[in-house]
Amino acid sequence: MQSAGVEDPYKVAQQAAEFVTKKFGGQHDVLAVLGSGWAHAASVLDATNEISVTEIPGFTKPSAIGHGGTLKSVKVGNSRVLLLTGRTHLYEGHGVNAVVHAVRTAWFAGCKTVVLTNAAGCLRQDWGVGATAVISDHINLTGFSPLTGADAPAPLHGRFVDLTDAYSLRLREIAKQVDPTLHEGVYMGYHGPHFETPAEIRAARVWGADLVGMSTVMETIAARHLGMEVLALSLATNLAAGITGEKLSGDEVLEIGKASSQRVGTLLANILKQIDLANGKKN
């Protein structure tokens, strides 16, 4: 099977989309990606069909704990949602095209909207652990771009993609109507998998970050390149390095994720319902 890491990632994504569309019997409208702590959404939303990502051309099974390896087809109102139960991260070493393969596949499969979720370290003590936030903007500190390499084949947009409104204001407003307690902030994307140093967190604060994490930014850039509308949601699983003086641990991140799973899963399901209603009104 061809990997999404080879030279024409768009061709592999198109093949993947054809496979998914055939398996699920039609095109989809929205891609939702479940990050750590968001897995409960998969049980709140009734899937009509599901496949293991290992069956789909170019997909890599996520190796991060708390990330599933299934793509589900879910009906939310009039929308058909592709629900990916786990993502591939840059730090897994499969290359940037593997990280954004699901986004490109979803676009070829008809999706115009992407909802990304993640677990993040929080720089805002006033928000606290367990807080949820919509991402208003990002700072990409990974050193990577999904648009590195050959230009995308015509008629796709070229490589100089505008990111002034990367995270849709319309979708952020919809999310905040669903849950007015949602915070809003800037996400700084690191490569990982190590956590940041306290000095890096101090620098992140000076640069305007509210949240730090190891995902989301590549997927957002790839989605905007394809003209998709992006909503990204973070669950603050810990205060960022150096804030409390305590050491950070992956187990703590998973524990908070598990404890919040029901709440954030329901939140995501409700947001998807509102997006469906708003898109219905828009169309």
Residues at the interface with ligand HPA (CB under 6 A)? 119-121, 190, 195-196, 212-214, 237-238, 240, 248, 253
Cβ–Cβ under 8 Å, residues 137 and 220: no
Write down the least CB distance from residue 101 to ligand HPA, Å: 21
Element (DSSP H or E) covering residue 200 = helix 198-207
Element (DSSP H or E) covering residue 23 = helix 9-24
Residue nearest to ligand HPA (CB): 121
Cβ–Cβ under 8 Å, residues 135 and 40: no
Nearer to ligand HPA, 72 or 138 (CB): 138
Cβ–Cβ under 8 Å, residues 257 and 235: yes
Two tokens at 151? 């230009």
Nearer to ligand HPA, 182 or 240 (CB): 240
Question: Coil, strand, or helix at residue 87?
Answer: coil
Nearer to ligand HPA, 108 or 195 (CB): 195
Write down the least CB distance from residue 245 to ligand HPA, Å: 14
Write down the least CB distance from residue 39 to ligand HPA, Å: 15
Nearer to ligand HPA, 65 or 150 (CB): 65
Nearer to ligand HPA, 14 or 237 (CB): 237
* Rounded-to-integer distance, Cα 278 and Cα 283, Å: 9
Write down the least CB distance from residue 188 to ligand HPA, Å: 9
Write down the least CB distance from residue 124 to ligand HPA, Å: 13
* Rounded-to-integer distance, Cα 210 and Cα 123, Å: 5
Q: Quick one: which of 91, 24, 39, 23 has its CA closest to 60?
A: 91
Write down the least CB distance from residue 51 to ligand HPA, Å: 28
The residues pairing with 139 across neighbouring beta strands, listed in sequence order, are 188
Other residues' Cβ atoms within 10 Å of the Cβ of residue 93: 11
Integer Rg of the chain from CA: 17
* Rounded-to-integer distance, Cα 212 and Cα 187, Å: 5
Write down the least CB distance from residue 233 to ligand HPA, Å: 13
Nearer to ligand HPA, 173 or 246 (CB): 246
278 φ, ψ to 5°? -65, -40
Q: Quick one: which of 104, 76, 91, 72 has its CA closest to 223?
A: 104
Nearer to ligand HPA, 132 or 168 (CB): 132
